Structure 1
């Protein structure tokens, strides 16, 4: 059972890393400042999810006290990052359409 769960977590870790890389490249390729911040914060959400999933995966693989402590810190930091960056994503999403209208050529 834990082997299947470990494979699923590894797949999800890879997917979140791909999303992180995708949003970072979109951030560097855009010229609009609000859109840049929006992509950067979406990448931060993906990074937070990556930390959470990696912490859970390590807890499943290794059963030591040190692993539990380090992974608990990673999971808490990942939750904090997800919540914080998600608030920023919603904040900047309000201004994307307005910025696009102002910068039409």
Structure 2
């Protein structure tokens, strides 16, 4: 749900730094979803394949969370500066 919320905000904004900041937030939300789905697959295993798929989903989701947090921290000052610049006009 949060992924779609942030992607909607991404398409509605006009500012480039805010777009990248919102994209990072949506990446974090999607990573949390994929990771939790992977944990759910491991908790209720139906087969060995399900366990392997769950582990792969956890790794991919954790990578998405990590990259999203890194991008979020990088673009946050630029988004703040951009918002202040346009708020003063």
Listed one character per residue, the Cα deviations across residues 5-45 of structure 1 (whole Å, up to 9, x for unaligned) are xxxxxxxxxxxxx1111111111111111001100110000
The structure showing larger relative contact order (alpha-carbon pairs under 8 Å, at least 6 residues apart) is 2
1:21 to 2:4 alignment: yes
- Deviation at 1:94? 1.2
Q: Structure 1: which 5+ residue stretches go unaligned? A: 1-17
1:51 aligned onto 2:51: no
Q: Where do 4+ consecutive residues of structure 1 move more than 3 Å?
A: none
Report the aligned-residue RMSD: 1.1
| TM score, norm. by length of structure 1 | 0.78
TM-score by length of 2: 0.91
Report the equivalent of 1:86: 69
Q: Distance in 2 between matches of 1:42 and 1:32?
A: 15
Q: What is the Cα deviation at residue 67 of structure 1?
A: 0.6
Q: Deviations over 1:44-87 (max 9, x none)?
A: 00000101000111222233110111110110011111011101
Length, aligned pairs only:
88
Instruction: Point out where structure 2 has 5 or more consecutive residues left out of the alignment.
Output: none
- Deviation, structure 1 residue 95: 1.2
